[in-house]
Amino acid sequence: MKILLIEDDPNIVSLLKRGLIEDGHSIETSEDGEEGEYLASMNNYDLIILDWMLPNKEGIEILKSLRKKNITIPVLMLTAKREIDDKVLGLNYGADDYLSKPFSYKELIARIEAIYRRSLSDGKNEVLINDINIDMSKKIVKKDNIEVLLTAKEYELLLFLIKNKNSMVSNGMIEQQLWNNEEFINSNVIPVTIYHLRKKIGKNQIKSFRGLGYKIEV
């Protein structure tokens, strides 16, 4: 999952960045409200983690601005505010979930995964694509009702292709989505990952277009 974290507390940024990368996610960060809104407006993310209190522009104003631009990227708001009215305000302006500080990393991850499941499967825990079944809550993939063991990168790549089903995804899009935090990746890593994924879920599941990219068709 590609995540944008807009948060000005360096301790929280360090903790979340380290944990999310270790969990296999790609993450970009901003400690400034205006810069964070620019990144959210110009790039494609699976999720935005947005702090309420930020320098230069508050999180609630960023949220309002993004929704007015019809940017529908899911937003999880973080805040030290505990008043019910503030929570309602955030949800009314288009936040997908709300987490009060201090919070546990375990709860944050559970909320992130719940939001992502909703975005992929209309709120259901399962995604069905052709003869592939994915239990999003348990991260179990089955082909013809037989469990398929995927690496973390293979699993994230499969979800990315499913999210963009019937659309072409290029090598550049895959690299940015799965390896955004790495300065250099081997030129063969994407085709090799595609090769192993196709071998496990079926060659015909992923269409390959030389020089253009890959596609899952439904």
Burial of 196 (0-12, 13-18, 19+ CB in 10 A): middle
Which of 100, 121, 142 is where one domain is finished? Answer: 121
Residues 132 and 194 in one domain: yes
What is residue 152's predicted lDDT score, i.e. its pLDDT? 87
pLDDT in tens, 91-124: 788 889 988 888 999 999 999 988 888 877 666 6
Q: Are 158 and 197 in contact (CB under 8 A)?
A: yes
Residues spanned by the domain of 35? 2-121
Burial of 215 (0-12, 13-18, 19+ CB in 10 A): middle
Residues 170 and 145 in one domain: yes
Q: Which residues of the chain have pLDDT under 70?
A: 81-85, 121-124, 180-186
In sequence order, the 6+-apart residues with CB closer than 8 A to the CB of 108 are 16, 49, 76, 99
pLDDT in tens, 157-169: 999 998 888 899 9
What is residue 207's predicted lDDT score, i.e. its pLDDT? 92
Residues 7 and 101 in one domain: yes
What is residue 80's predicted lDDT score, i.e. its pLDDT? 79
What pTM was computed for the model?
A: 0.74
What is residue 26's predicted lDDT score, i.e. its pLDDT? 85
Residues 27 and 130 in one domain: no
Which of 78, 94, 121 is where one domain is finished? Answer: 121
Rounded Cα gap, residues 33 and 172, in angstroms: 27
What is residue 93's predicted lDDT score, i.e. its pLDDT? 84
What is residue 123's predicted lDDT score, i.e. its pLDDT? 60
